[in-house]
Amino acid sequence: MSIEALVKEFAEVAANPKAQLKKYKDQGKKCIGVMPYFAPEELVAAAGMVPFGMWGSNDKTISQAKEYCATFYCTIAQLDLEMLLDGTLDLLDGVITPTICDTLRPMSQNIRVAMSEKLPCIFLAHPQNRKPAFGLKFTVDQYTHIRKELEKISGAPVTDEAISEAIKVYNKSRAARREFVKLANAHCDVITPIKRSAVLKAAWFMPKTEYTELLTALNAELSALPVCDWKGAKVVTSGIICDNPKLLQIFEDYNIAIAADDVAHESRAFRVDAPESGDPMMALAQQFAEQDFDVLLYDEQSSSNRRGEFVANLVKESGAKGLVLFMQQFCDPEEMEYPSLKKALDDAGIPHIRLGVDQQMRDFGQARTAIQAFADVISL
């Protein structure tokens, strides 16, 4: 298949998750909604079901969810509930609700109340201290609870062998996505910001065997191309999510390529693999424990600003000339971390801009002006 045809397949999946959900249900599969962040999707796959990412929507307006949520909840969380209430996600067989931030914690209970008898809601609390032995045990206990709840939905036991197999499938998928991100940088004339986003977004709505097969084919095609001599600007993107094609179109309009990302919906989700030997439940706990340099996770060494330096190095190593931070409105973790990130970028002499965004934005006039000016600055 040509690059164009492969990217088109990913773009169709990314643009229409509802159709994708229906497709799997028509095949007789059960599907489990997985809200952000760090849910062990491997357990869903091991249970023979399809994990289905829930990252809000760029096409909906919050209406029914307002009855359950304070107005200062971010739009991602509110739109997840909106889609559960308005029927968009009616075909789901259950939903996993992680609780890693101050919005997701109450939201997990709002969803439980709103869905009541309609949909099993599986609560997931990650430990703050994820690395010590007691943190690993806590994670294993939580994941064991998820495993049991998934068994109730699927009606069959989830075996250790199936989890070990799922870990291998996911590691392969994560490796393919890391490879794609590098190839997208080397071939940013072909993989534009909109296409890059679509390829990575599609991963949330496809079983990983199917997704990885398609992505491996795309990576092979890209590897065969000569590295492009990009004359425009290159940036690193940072934030929770930046998948709105209208926003990314502005990048394309001003010849800005994405060299790498520090985005929760993209690279932060596939940086770390799980060990492929030993107890598979502990392997999943270790995979979570080894996550690092993330706004959402406790860092024992936060006073040394390791995360800020990590992001600054990402900019330098990827060949980008600056960073664009997409700051979700009302996202406390991102807002609180910003001064540290700014300091690290300033210390490293890396220019950046911060754009306030949410998923109900329809007018990107201000963002256009800011991005155009930023492109001029970093191109000098």
Chain residues that interact with ligand SF4, rule: CB under 6 A: 36, 74, 76-77, 101, 103-104, 240, 296, 328, 331-334
CB of 100 to ligand SF4, least distance (A): 7
Distant-in-sequence, close-in-space partners of 148: CB < 8 Å, separation ≥ 6: none
| DSSP secondary structure letters along 138-176 | HHHHHHHHHHHHHHHHHTS---HHHHHHHHHHHHHHHHH
Q: Rank residues 6 and 84 by Cβ distance to ligand SF4 and give the closer one.
A: 84
Is 304 exposed, middle or buried (CB count within 10 Å of its CB: 0-12, 13-18, 19+)?
Answer: exposed
Q: Report in angstroms how near the CB of residue 223 gets to ligand SF4 at its nearest.
A: 34
Planar angle of CA 145, 147, 149, nearest 5 degrees: 70
Of 6 and 247, CB closest to ligand SF4: 247
Q: How far is the CB of 264 from ligand SF4 (least distance, A)?
A: 7
Nearer to ligand SF4, 122 or 295 (CB): 295
* Comparison of 101 and 215: residue with beta carbon closer to ligand SF4: 101
Taking alpha carbons only, the member of 243, 38, 235, 66 closest to residue 139 is: 38
Query: What does the alpha-carbon distance between residue 78 and residue 358 come to, in Å, rounded to a whole number?
Result: 11
CB 241, min distance to ligand SF4, A:
8
Instruction: For ligand SF4, give the closer residue by CB, 4 or 59.
Output: 59
CB nearer to ligand SF4: give 249 or 329. 329
- Cα–Cα distance between 226 and 222 in angstroms, integer? 9
Residue type, 331: C
- Report in angstroms how near the CB of residue 341 gets to ligand SF4 at its nearest: 15
With contact defined as beta carbons under 8 Å apart, do 29 and 92 qualify? no
**Cα pseudo-dihedral 284, 213, 237, 375, rounded to 10:** 170
Tokens of 299: 């860092």
User: 6: which DSSP letter?
Assistant: H
Distance between CA atoms of residues 190 and 308, nearest Å: 30
Distances (CA, A) of 70 to 59, 73, 112: 21, 6, 16
Nearer to ligand SF4, 49 or 295 (CB): 295
Indicate the DSSP class of residue 305: T
Nearer to ligand SF4, 166 or 240 (CB): 240
CB of 102 to ligand SF4, least distance (A): 7
Min dist CB 58 to ligand SF4, Å, is: 14
- The DSSP result for 78-99, as a single string, is HHHHHHHHSSTTTT-SEEEEE-
Residue 330 Cβ vs ligand SF4, minimum distance, rounded to whole Å: 6
